[in-house]
Structure 1
Amino acid sequence: MAKTVAKLVFIPAPGLGHIMSTIEIAKVLANRDQRLSVTVLIIKPPNSSSNSPVTTYIGSLAKRSMDRISFIELPQHETPTTRDSKGPLASFAEYMNNHREYVRNIVGGMISQPGQSRIVGFVIDMFCLCMIDVANEFDIPTYVFFTSSAAFLGLKLYIQTLCDDHNQDVVELSHSNTEIAVPTFVKLVPTKVFPNMAQTRETLEFLLSSARRLREVKAIIVNSFSELETHAIESLSSDNSIPTLYPVGPILNLESGSGAEKPLDDDLIRWLDNQPPSSVVFLCFGSMGSFEEVQVKEIARALEHSGHRFVWSLRQPPVDKRSRLTRDYEDPGVVLPEGFLERMAAIGKVIGWAPQVAVLGHCAVGGFVSHCGWNSLLESLWFGVPVATWPMYAEQHMNAFELVVELGLAVEITMDYKKNLSKPMAEAVVVKAEEIENGIRRLMEDDLVRTKVKKISEKSRSTVVEGGSSYSAFGYLIQDFIKNVS
C-alpha cells in the first residue's frame, strides 16, 4: 500500500448539496490515489434547526467511516449576524469570515503535529472564498470546487470583466430587455436570466468580489463534463486570465440511506412499481422551493387537466424567513383544490420531502419539473429523465436557459419566474395552469428532447470511468496536488 504523503483540507459551504458534493469528490480522490488523505472541515449552517436535513446529515457524518477521509465539525460562531441591516449575502459573508479563525487554529494544529502528511491544498467551496486568506497564511495552494455549471462560471467572470474593465452598468443591463454575447455561451444570453445577484448594487458587489477572488486561486474544479458543456469548457480553458480548469463531473451522491434524506416509503415504492415505464412526471423544487396557495392550486389544475401520472413533492413555505427551508404539510389538502386528492388518488401522489435520487432513478419516472439547481439537473441527466424548467433564484434561470436554449436538453415551463427569498410571502407572478399543463405535455411527449437526454445520460456515465474525460481530468488534478509535496 502506498504511503499517504499528501493531505487535502476541504471546506464546503454550509448547505446540504454543497456538503454532499464535497464528500463525493473527496471519496473519488481518496479512492483514486492512496497517497492522498482528506480532512473535511464542516461549518454548520446559520439559524438551522436541530431536525433540518442539513443538520441531520452533518450528524450522520460522525458515524461514518471512510478510508483516509475524516471530518471535523467547526464550532458555530455565536456572534449575531447583520442580516436585517445589510442583507442576506452580506450577513452570510460575515458568517463565513467569522469562521476563519477556527480554520486557522485547526490547520495550524495539523501542521504542528509531528509525522503529519504535508497539506498540499485547500479545496474550498465557491461560497468559502474568504478561506483563501487562511491558505495564504500557511503558504498552501487553494483550489475552488465550483458546484455550478462551467457556463455560469464563465458568466460570473465575464460580468466582472464588464464592470472592472469596461465600466458597464451591469445592474442596469440586468433589468433591460436585451441579449448579450457571453464567451461561454454559443447563443446570445437574455439579460432577464442573469442571476439575482446582478440585479442590485449591494448584491452585485458580492458577485464581483467573488469573481475577483476566483482569479486568485491555483485551479478551479467544476462539477461538469466536457461532453455536456463542450463550448463553455473550451472557452474557459483557452483563456489565460482564468486559473486552470478541471471539469470532473458529474459528482453525484447516488447512495440511498446516506443520512441526507428520508427513504422512499413502501406505499410510494409499490405505487411506482405498478406504473408503466417513463409514465410519471416528478415535481420537486429543492430545499427552498415552495409556493403560496394560489400557485399551488394552479399546479394542481395543470396536473389534473394533463392526465399524466405524477409524484409531487409539495412543501410549505418557511415560517421563519431566516432559515429559508421549507417544511412538510401536515395536511396538503388545505392548499389544494377541493377534492383534488380524492380525484387524483389513482394517478398521482402528493408527498412531502422527496428522496430525489431514488425517485429519478425509478424506471416509472419519465419527466422532472425542476427548480433547475445544478445538482438536480446533473442527477436528472444521469438517469436520462428530461426536465421542464421552473427556476426560482440564484443562478437557476441561467441553468434553465442553458438546458433549454443552448443545449436543447429540456423544455420550458418558465425561465424568468423570480422568487424573493428575503420576502417569502411576496411572489412577483403566478404561472397559470394552462402554461404549466403545456409544459408538462411537452415534457412527457417530446421524443426529440427525450432522445437527446438519453444520449447525454450515456455520456455522463462513460465520462467518469477509466478512459472518460472526467476520469482523465481527475488524474491531472491528482498530479497537480502531488507536485505540491516537494
Structure 2
Amino acid sequence: MEETTMTNTNRVELVFIPSPGMGHLVSAVEMAKLLVDRDQRLSITLLIMKAPFKTKANYSPAQSLSTAAASRIRFVDLPGDELESDAKFSPHTFLSGFISGQKTLVRDAVAQISSSPEAPRLAGFFIDMFCTSMIDVADEFRVPTYVFFTSGAAFLGLVFHLQTMRDDHNHDVTELKDSDADLLVPCFVKSVPTKVLPSVVLDKEGGSEMFHDLVRRIRETKGILINTFSELESHAIHSINTPPVYPVGPILNVAGDNDNESTSAAAILKWLDDQPPSSVVFLCFGSMGCFGVDQVNEIAHALERSGHRFLWSLRRPPPEGKLEFPGDYTNLEEVLPERFLERTAEIGRVIGWAPQAAVLAHRAVGGFVSHCGWNSTLESVWYGVPMAAWPQYAEQQLNAFLMVEELEMAVEIKMDYRNGFYSKSGVALRSEEIEKGIRRLMECGENGMRKKVEEMREKSRVAVREGGSSYLSIGRLIEDVMKIVEQ
C-alpha cells in the first residue's frame, strides 16, 4: 500500500481492548501489527487490563513489535489488583463482571489519550468478544465499535442462532442440557449435537443469560473481525448477514513466546531433531489444560501401548478452589505410572510448558492431540499437522465437531468431553479410547485426511498474502473505518 503523507487531519487512533487472557492478548497484538503495517494513517493503543489471577508471564507484547510498528502501537497498562487465590467467585459471570468493572479505567485512559492537541483523531474501539460493555464507553466518545472475535465463524454463527432462538422464539436453550437432540444451525452443513454446545449457553445459573447479553451487544457493533479465513469456513461466513463480518485470519503469533524459555525449548527441539519425519505425536492442552492423576495414568498407558513416539506437555492442576493457572510438576514420577519414564525413554518425552508453535512447525511432528482451542486449531492448520480432538471447556467441543465432522480434518478422541469451569466429565477417559484415537491420528494418511490438512495449510498462507482473501478483507475493513472518519 502506498505511504500517505501524515498530517494531524488524516492520522487516526484506534483503541484496542482485549480480554485479560493470553490467547486474547496475543491475537489482539498481532491484529494491531497487521493494521498499522497496512496503512500509515493508523495508530493503535492497546489497553491492557491487569489479570485478576496469577498468570504465566512469559509474553511481553511490546518486545514483539518491529521498529516501524513500535512507533505507532503503544500499550497502556490499566491499574488493578490481583484477587486472592482463594477468593470466592462465580465462574458463570465472573469475566463479564470483571470487565464491566473496568469501564471507568478505560474511560479515563481514552480521555487522556485524546486530550493532547497533537493526538490523532479517535476513530473507533476494537473490543474483544467478551468486552461488549465497553460499547458504552465508545458511545460516550461518539466513535464506532468493532468486535475482534477470537474464535471461529462457526461459533459466532451458532451463538447468533441460539440468541435468536431465545429472544425471537422464546426457546430456553438451557433446556437442551443433557439432551441427545441435534440442532439445525444455519452456519453448519451438518446438524449439531447438543452435547457439543458450549457449557455456558446451557448453564441455568446465570451463565446462559450473561452470554446472550454479550451476543445481543455484538449485534450493535459496526462490524466483526473474525480470526478465520474464507477457505476454511466459507459456509459459516456466508451464513452471517449482520453486522458485516471481516475474516482476517489466521491471526497467529507464529514466533511463539518472546523468550520461549530458551533452555527448555532448545532441549525439546533438539530431541525432535533426532526423530524421523512425521513420527511424533504431540499432546498439548493449552494454558488451562490439566488432568487429575487417574486421567494422567490412562493417557500414559495409551501412549505406551500405541508404540508411537510422543512429546507430552503435562501440566499440574491448581489447588482445588484456587484461582490460578496450571503449573509444571516438580516430580513427574509422582503422577505417572511406576517406571513409565524409564520404559518410554527411547521413544518419548514428558515435559511441562511447551513452545507449541515451534513444536508444530518441526518436521518430526506427525500428529497433534489437542484441546481444540481456536488458536491451537489454527496453528495446526497453519503447520499442516492433523489433530486428534480432545476438547476441555469453553467452545472447544464445538470446534472439535467442526474439525472432525464438518470439515473432516481431525479425528476424535472424545468430542463431548468436558473438564473446565462449568462442568466436568467426572470419569477418566479410558486408555483404550485414547490409544484408538492416537492410532487413527498417526495413520490418517491412509484415508486422505493428511493430504486435506496439507492442502488447507497452503490455503491458510495464501489467504494472508497480498491479494489473498484475508488480505483483501483487512483492506475492506480499513476502507470502512476511514469512510466513517471522513463523514
TM-score band w.r.t. shorter chain: over 0.9
Q: CA, structure 1 residues 60+71, in 2 after alignment: closer, same or farther (shift >3 Å)? A: closer
Residue in 2 that maps onto 1:215: 219
Matches of 2:275 and 2:257, distance apart in 1: 24
> How far does residue 420 in structure 1 lie from its aligned partner after superposition?
3.6
Q: CA, structure 1 residues 209+153, in 2 after alignment: closer, same or farther (shift >3 Å)? A: same
Does residue 183 (structure 1) correspond to residue 186 (structure 2)? The answer is yes
Aligned pair partner of 1:193 in 190, 193, 196: 196
Residue in 2 that maps onto 1:477: 477
Aligned pair partner of 2:59 in 43, 53, 57: 57
Q: CA, structure 1 residues 462+291, in 2 after alignment: closer, same or farther (shift >3 Å)? A: same
Q: CA, structure 1 residues 153+101, in 2 after alignment: closer, same or farther (shift >3 Å)? A: same
Matches of 2:261 and 2:463, distance apart in 1: 27
Matches of 2:86 and 2:342, distance apart in 1: 47
Aligned pair partner of 1:97 in 89, 95, 100: 100
Q: CA, structure 1 residues 45+75, in 2 after alignment: closer, same or farther (shift >3 Å)? A: same
Write the letter of the residue equivalent to 1:36. L
Q: CA, structure 1 residues 340+415, in 2 after alignment: closer, same or farther (shift >3 Å)? A: same
Write the letter of the residue equivalent to 2:150. T
> How far does residue 265 in structure 1 lie from its aligned partner after superposition?
3.3
Residue in 1 that maps onto 2:375: 375
Residue in 2 that maps onto 1:70: 74
Structure 1 SS opposite 2:381 = helix
- Deviation string, structure 1 residues 250-293 (Cα, Å, up to 9, x no partner): 00001145247666533322211111111100000011110111
Matches of 2:11 and 2:44, distance apart in 1: 11
Residue in 2 that maps onto 1:30: 36
Residue in 2 that maps onto 1:388: 388
Residues 14 and 43 in structure 1, CA contact (< 8 A), matched pair in contact too: yes
Matches of 2:85 and 2:97, distance apart in 1: 7
Identity %: 53
Structure 1 SS opposite 2:278 = coil
> How far does residue 47 in structure 1 lie from its aligned partner after superposition?
2.0
C-alpha RMSD of matched pairs (Å): 2.0
Matches of 2:174 and 2:351, distance apart in 1: 39
Instruction: Tell me the TM-score normalised to structure 2 length.
Output: 0.94
Q: CA, structure 1 residues 164+261, in 2 after alignment: closer, same or farther (shift >3 Å)? A: farther
Residues 16 and 127 in structure 2, CA contact (< 8 A), matched pair in contact too: yes
Q: Which runs of 5+ in 2 are unaligned?
A: none
- Deviation string, structure 1 residues 175-216 (Cα, Å, up to 9, x no partner): 211101001000000000000112222110111101100100
Q: CA, structure 1 residues 293+320, in 2 after alignment: closer, same or farther (shift >3 Å)? A: closer
> How far does residue 163 in structure 1 lie from its aligned partner after superposition?
0.6
Q: How does 1:3-42 map to 2 (within 5 A)?
A: 3=6, 5-42=11-48
Matches of 1:91 and 1:80, distance apart in 2: 14
Matches of 2:96 and 2:420, distance apart in 1: 19
Moved more, 242-251 or 269-278: 269-278
Matches of 1:282 and 1:69, distance apart in 2: 35
Residue in 2 that maps onto 1:444: 442
Matches of 2:456 and 2:396, distance apart in 1: 20
Q: CA, structure 1 residues 139+60, in 2 after alignment: closer, same or farther (shift >3 Å)? A: closer
Q: How does 1:83-482 map to 2 (within 5 A)?
A: 84=88, 87-201=90-204, 202-236=206-240, 239=241, 242-259=242-259, 264-319=264-319, 321-421=321-421, 427-447=425-445, 448-482=448-482
Q: CA, structure 1 residues 308+130, in 2 after alignment: closer, same or farther (shift >3 Å)? A: same
- Deviation string, structure 1 residues 111-133 (Cα, Å, up to 9, x no partner): 22102111111000001111110
Structure 1 SS opposite 2:122 = strand
Instruction: Tell me the TM-score normalised to structure 1 length.
Output: 0.94
Q: CA, structure 1 residues 179+216, in 2 after alignment: closer, same or farther (shift >3 Å)? A: same
Structure 2 SS opposite 1:47 = coil
Aligned length: 475
Q: Which runs of 5+ in 1 are unaligned?
A: none
- Deviation string, structure 1 residues 128-160 (Cα, Å, up to 9, x no partner): 111110000111100000000100001111110
Matches of 2:123 and 2:51, distance apart in 1: 27
- Deviation string, structure 1 residues 218-258 (Cα, Å, up to 9, x no partner): 0000000000001000111xx2xx21100010000011452
